[in-house]
Chain A
């Protein structure tokens, strides 16, 4: 039995060890951040390792930001359980952490006869999954709820508790809570090797040697590689699946209230039309299998197809300009279920193949990891009064920073990002370590002009702060 007070075996006695903890978490995506929070709250000392300069740089960088109910998850699976658990816990904690929730509801819309036939099965599955507030609705009710939706929508299942959240502030808040309560984070720390001596793991990272009793592999797109590197084998192979998105201007937000889901197929949830927490409207993702784990390229044809698809579902989009385009890569594997490895002998847990449901399921997965550790007969003493930090609000429907006087200046006019917000994101306990990290924390340059007005000022503010900066060769102009 290991407790906080009994962590003498973990002391960083040797000078060459950079850091040590009860649990090392590999990967600063949403899953790693949620695991860090949960285990910290349960009383473990945690150290999160991220190979990129900042967290949320892999799969978690581009997802659909939907809080799922799990109505269409495979019944009885761990994914289903974690999605439901994650949904419940998010609702419980979001206010205290300052995390937004947009209660949109969702509609699974059948656009043709064939899809309409499949609706019944989806509805039934929802019931089996314990989501008992689904409703089959007809054309009239669809029109009442979404008057701007194309009238060719034949029938739908209404899912009242599918919501929209902030995909980046949520994991940031989880990790921040871990850090506020003693957790540690090392960025630019790729795990390159390591060994287990029967009691402890010694992990070699690009920043130095770290030591822990347990390791939780949350390496997302690199999950299989980390297992191979450290365990010599992996139960699964990551088969990266790219999803492209088109983001429409905020003016589109008034066209629709809910998330418009297609009738799902076996492989993917399909192309979704949904409002974002930032007040935009989005169409995506595609599901494109590829070899590369980091090539998030977009392509003209697919983007045009997505925009057209959006306009077919919501004709009013024809008059709305496109704000942004991007792609995310999901860590799919050769099989659909989550790929969990619980290596009792080697104090190792892998959370692999956490695909599109990861944002919701992360909190549930984190609890699952804790219960697995308990199976290892590890007991920590839960924190009695954990600190509950709040993250800044970026949601459009809640008061933003510029509403409070004394914000300095508005740097990004499209997204109304203030210099006070940027300064806060550059400092504090989990500061931005890259431009994209700063964007995720503040939304700077993510609006309709994409930096036309503000990138010069932003370049000035961030000068010399990041390894890759907006300006080049800054001293010799």
Chain B
């Protein structure tokens, strides 16, 4: 905390500060990397987080299991996120909240804005740990109108767990990935009863006995089914689905598009880092280094397909070792 106040003061005074490693994102990956770097003896680390609370996506995954490897306990997402944040604070690693990186310059020069103003951070190395998000309805080119009641799991969970609100009562759930079942859990907790879960393939996208989970939540799982059209003016009224060539209309008040994760690589893309043509993840070498050697990327920004928090935490530790070695060999 003291250090973070110091960094803030410094940055205010000259609008420019430097550090060994700047970490963009305070999710499991960013936190793990920071802790590991600190352990290696690197002290001037800055974690930049654009939200007003650190911890990343687990903040709004109000269900277990989180933290088994990290803390040897089964925690819910929010508890896990708080614990992560607490650990970096105990280690006196500055976590700058409400700090948005607006551009990635060459050689690790970051443009950052916060409510206090703009600043530059000159980092020897930068770790991109900006994570992933689900593909929204628009990018899926789904037909129909654009009423209220259409969202992704991320938005649903943030609403339920952070704001105590719900976007719908009887939605149709599209997709059957791990996150889709996390969404069902959230629905149950919030008193939302999905009308069905649809999956375009002939099997769910997770290996576990998922049909059991659907039965547990009382949600019919429709395989070989696609969404054809969204209907409704102000709010979703119904959805046309096609199940094995049979079209029918399902009454619902929302559509929850789950999964189909895409890396949150907009900063990298705008910053001219090379992206992988198929996955859109930043292109990295075997050390996790991007096309500009000052930048590294890890966690779900580079995982395809997406992984759970514990694996991201691990990925953060591994990348930290690579960054340490790189700094070390550069004489930093």
User: Is B8 among interface residues, defined by CB-CB distance under 8 A?
Assistant: no
Q: What distance in Å separates the Cβ of A103 from its nearest Cβ neighbour in chain B?
A: 22
Q: Mark B43-77, 1 if CB is under 8 A from A, else 0.
A: 00000001010000000100000000000000000
Residues of the A chain whose Cβ atoms lie less than 8 Å from the Cβ of B165: 456, 459-460, 463, 470-471, 474, 477
Which B residues are in CB contact (< 8 Å) with A319?
Answer: 275, 277
Q: Does B244 contact A (CB under 8 A)?
A: no
Q: Look across to chain A and name the residue whose beta carbon is closest to the beta carbon of B136.
A: A450
Inter-chain contact B100/A470, CB cutoff 8 Å: no
Q: Is B151 an interface residue (CB 8 A)?
A: yes
Shortest beta-carbon distance from A424 to chain B in Å = 16
B148 within 8 A of A: yes
**What CA separation (Å) do A30 and B212 show in the bound complex?**
54
Complex alpha-carbon distance, A299 and B233, angstroms: 16
On whether the beta carbons of B145 and A321 are closer than 8 Å, the reply is no
A448 with B115: CB separation less than 8 A: no
Residues of B contacting A408 with CB < 8 Å? 115
- Bound-state CA distance A443–B60 (Å) is 24
Could you tell me how many residues of chain A have their Cβ less than 8 Å away from some Cβ of chain B? 54
Contact of A452 among B143, B154, B235, B277 (CB under 8 A): B154
- Residue on B nearest A405 in the bound complex, by CB: B117
| A353 shortest CB reach to chain B, Å | 25
A322 CA / B262 CA spacing, docked (Å): 12
Q: Which residues from B are CB-within-8-Å of A473?
A: 166, 169
Per DSSP, chain B at the interface is: mixed
Q: How far is the CB of B153 from chain A (nearest CB, A)?
A: 9
Q: Which of A64-72, A263-271, A323-331 contacts B (4 or more CB under 8 A)?
A: A323-331
Q: By the criterion CB–CB under 8 Å, are A326 and B163 in contact?
A: no
Contact check, A472 vs B169: say whether CB atoms are below 8 A apart: yes
**CB of B141 closer than 8 Å to a CB of A:** yes
- Across the interface, A459 reaches (CB within 8 A) one of B139, B167, B229, namely B167
- Chain B residues lying within 8 Å of A355, measured Cβ to Cβ, are none
B159 at the interface (CB under 8 A from A): yes
Q: Which of A247, A296, A414, A457 contacts B163 (CB 8 A)?
A: A457
Q: Does B152 contact A (CB under 8 A)?
A: yes
Shortest B279–chain A CB gap in Å is 12
The reply to whether A409 and B115 contact each other, CB–CB distance below 8 Å, is yes
> Which A residues have a C-beta under 8 Å from some C-beta of B?
247, 249-251, 294-300, 303-304, 307, 319, 321-326, 402-403, 405-410, 413-414, 416, 435, 448-453, 455-457, 459-460, 463, 468-474, 476-477
Binding site for A on B (CB under 8 A): 50, 52, 60, 98, 100, 102, 113, 115-118, 133-134, 136-139, 141-146, 148-149, 151-152, 154-155, 158-160, 162-169, 190-191, 229, 233-235, 253, 262, 264, 266, 269-270, 275, 277, 280
Q: Can you show 7 pairs from A to B with CB atoms below 8 A apart?
A: A298-B146, A299-B143, A322-B139, A416-B100, A435-B148, A448-B266, A472-B166
